[in-house]
Chains A and B, each alone.
Chain A
Amino acid sequence: MSLLHTINKSPFERNSFDSCVAHAKKGSSILLIEDGVYAATQGTAAARKLEGIMKDVKVYALQPDVNTRGMQSKMLDGVNLVDYGGFVDLVTQHNAVQAWL
């Protein structure tokens, strides 16, 4: 498989999310961690962007960071939740990791 993109910034604060989405190719995956998880919450412009690319790009969010922020009930359908072990699996399943810091 191809690239695993990680995003750790709120889409409302920085352009990491928008820039990543603009560069993520078909077959790559995006993992939202830390403040990046807000991008996958319902009713946001970022979530609409995610819905637009979900047929080509798999989207994951780190469950511990979702829960930490109280966003459990707000997550967009189709976003796969993983724990740290799942994060490790995603890293090994992709050819390289690009962190959109």
Chain B
Amino acid sequence: MKLSVLVNEGPYTHQASDSAYLFTKAALEKGHEIFRVFFYHDGVYNGTRLMVPPQDDRHIQKRWSELAEKHKLDLVVCIAAAQRRGLLDENEAKRQGKDANNIAPGFRISGLGQLIEAGIQAERLVAFGD
């Protein structure tokens, strides 16, 4: 079955992104297709490559990036939520005149329409948040 996942909270504060990751991984292992994972609200922080968690803790961003690479996942960060919170890709950084970008490999920044599309095109949309 074709599934989409919505992640509404940032890493480490809430369990939501852990739950979303483990759900997504289990769905892929069962042979389901993940149409898209959409990161909204503080969920956009899952996609910063600048996070440096302690070595004995899980690396939430790296986990997502590796899963994306292995399964060609579409990880989309909401642009409006990302701009409010300082998450930028190279183009956005340039456009906004900022001196750095922080988007992690496997993630892309796009509009909220991608969430609606995820709801339309997937047979189920599963949300994780606070």
Contact = CB atoms under 8 A, between A and B. Distances in A.
Contacts of A92: 1, 3, 32, 123-124
Contacts of A91: 3, 27, 124, 126
Contacts of B129: 8, 99, 101
Given A34-B15, A85-B30, A97 B125 contact: yes
Contacts, number: 54
Say which size band chain B's interface belongs to: 20 to 34
Interface string B114-130: 00000000011111111
B22 A84 contact: yes
Interface residues of A, number: 19
Secondary structure dominating the interface of A:
helix
B26 interface: yes
B26 A87 contact: yes
B23 interface: yes
